[in-house]
Each structure stands twice: as C-alpha cells, then as structure tokens.
Amino acid sequence: MKKKSITLEVDPTILEKNMRILEDSPMEEELNKLFAPTDAIPCKIVKPTPGFCVKTFTKPDNKKMFLNVCVTDAIPSPRDITNEELMQILSSEDPSSYRVPMSIGEGRMEPDNSGVPATVYDVAVNPVFFSKIEKDDLFKTFFLTVVFEGLQDKYQFEIDMQKFTVLKNKKSLGTLQSHRIQIRDVKKCEESTKPLIEEINKTLPKENLNKEIDYRLRREPPTGEIEYLLAEFKIPDSVDVQDLNLEVGEDRVVLESKGIYNPVDFFLPCSVDQDVIDAKLDRNFNMLSVKMPVIH
C-alpha cells in the first residue's frame, strides 16, 4: 500500500457542524467518556484568565508573533526574591537555582487587529508572580527573555528579543486555550534543580506507552452516496503537533506519536484520494480531524 505523509495544520477555530448537533445527545456523552484523559499522574484542565499581550517579531523574516501572558492558580508561584537577589542569581555560576513554573501552549494562528493571521502562544503563570512581573520592569524583562529563549529552543526559530512591545489596552489576542496542568508537590518542585524555565504540563507517565489514542471514523453524508470519510482522533494535551506523524494510504490510516502512545493503524471501508487529504488539529477540543474524499 502506498502511503502519503500529511502535514498537520493547527486551527483553533474549527467547530464541526456534526459535533454541534451531537453536543447534548447521549451518543456525544458516550464519546466524551471514551475520549476522557486517562493519565496516571493527577492532572487537571484549566482555562487561564487574560493578563497582558506582547507583540514581537521572528528573525530574519520579521513576521509578527504574539505572546498571551495569562494566569491560573493551578500553577505554583516561584519563591519571592528581591531585584538584588535576582541580579545576583543571574550573575552567579548557577542561574538555574531560580526557576519560574509556567505552562506554554502550542502555537496557533489568530488574526491581528488588521485581520492578518499571526502566530500566538499562551504562557500561563501563577497570579502572584504575574503581579510581580506586571509592576516590576526588571522581572518582566527577565521573564520575557526566559520565555523567548524557551520558545526558540522548543520550536527552532529565532525571536528578535530587542523588538518586543507590551500592548496597551489589550490583555490577550484571540481565545485563550485550556492547559493541562499536572498536580505536583510544590515543596519538591522548589527543592529540585532545573532550568530557569519549567514547563509543568509536558511530562508523560510511562503507562501511556501502552495506550492508544482514541479515534472514531464516520462517513459523510450519513446516508446515500459517500462523499468523504472523516477520521477524528482525540489528541491529549501532552502530545505536541510536532510529535504526530500521519500517513494516509488509499485504504489505510496510520497515526504515530513518536512512541508516546501506541500507533493507531486501521483500514478504510473504501478507497480515498490521497492527494486531497485535509488534516487539522483543533486545540479547543484536542481533536485531530482528517477529511478523506472517497474515490468513486
């Protein structure tokens, strides 16, 4: 079977009509149970509240990028230090002795004020620490530098760190995304030695290695001649879009997640056109939708 790799697109605005129709039905309740997270480590899904929005640019293409700094009590606050202590720590041989717990969401496209799509990232922190960076320019600059460096390392692009602006009268751009936060022992977090930036929503328990991503396959329209097949996969918050590899053959679908979960591999009831496959990941619902036109 000849398979074709698909480039996944993150689109936070997707709302399938059929999903809206089924929203309050018993069938949808069963599907929600099926797609419920099963991680062994205690965690919770939280929706942060807006804080402030930062505009910056990537290099060398000079594309606009936005950072929504938002807040949630689910994230612990770093230990409270003075400006003098921060300067001493940063100039010491071990600057990693001071960590800032935070949750960084995946990038998504949102229209800016002029309607032009731009990449947006949400970064959630504790409200006590947010108050500090909001009022103190030294801590704000330190925090943004740490976040920018973290984004550069994670997504392999360059940010113009000298060219950022905290937007006035705008707390966030677009709709803030939900974050999956692991419930950790705050004291143990404080005692451990880790980098300045600590993402607290990415560690996966080993138990996940023997689990599969939940999915369903349906036809459209429900009756009559089939126009296309729609495969929907429930992608956990802990799996980044960069971890996913989707291959669609004429009569087969394979989804891998770099060993985080077992591969999903199933055959299709009819042949599909591999050249016009449409795959989009909606982080509002953590749903990967793969639309496959049927060959008649």
210/163 same-domain check:
no
Res. 85 pLDDT band, cuts 50 70 90: very high
pLDDT digits (tens, 9 = 90+) for 158-193: 999 888 999 998 999 998 988 877 665 544 444 444
Distance between CA atoms of residues 200 and 190, nearest Å: 13
pLDDT tens for each residue of 232-273: 999 988 788 888 989 998 888 999 888 888 888 888 888 999
Question: Cβ(218)–Cβ(262) under 8 Å?
Answer: no
Q: 180 and 59, same structural domain?
A: yes
Q: Which domain holds residue 248?
A: 3-39+206-293
Residue 28: pLDDT above 60? no
105-145: per-residue pLDDT in tens?
A: 888 899 998 889 999 999 999 999 999 999 999 999 999 99
184 & 256 share domain: no
Radius of gyration for the chain, computed over Cα atoms and rounded to the nearest angstrom: 21
**pLDDT at residue 21, as a whole number:** 31
Domain boundary among 199, 214, 244: 199
Q: Say yes or no: 32 and 139 in one domain.
A: no
Alpha-carbon span 18 to 222, nearest angstrom: 10
3-class state of residue 263 by DSSP:
coil
Last residue of a domain, one of 199, 232, 249: 199
Tell whether 153 and 217 lie within a shared domain.
no
**How many structural domains compose the chain?**
2
* Residues 90 and 113 reside in one and the same domain: yes
Same domain, 266 and 286: yes
Q: What is the DSSP annotation of 149-163? A: HHHHHHHT-EE-TTS
* The pLDDT of residue 257: 87
131 and 89 assigned to the same domain:
yes
Rounded-to-integer distance, Cα 176 and Cα 131, Å: 19
Same domain, 120 and 69: yes
18: amino acid identity, one letter: N
Residue 104 sits in the same domain as residue 175 = yes
Over 70: is that where the pLDDT of 220 sits?
yes
Q: Look at 185 and 224; give whichever has higher pLDDT.
A: 224
Q: Measured between alpha carbons, how far is 209 from 29 in angstroms, rounded to an integer?
A: 26
Is residue 169 located within the same domain as residue 80?
Answer: yes
What are the tokens at 28? 């949808």
The answer, yes or no, to whether residue 64 has pLDDT greater than 70, is yes
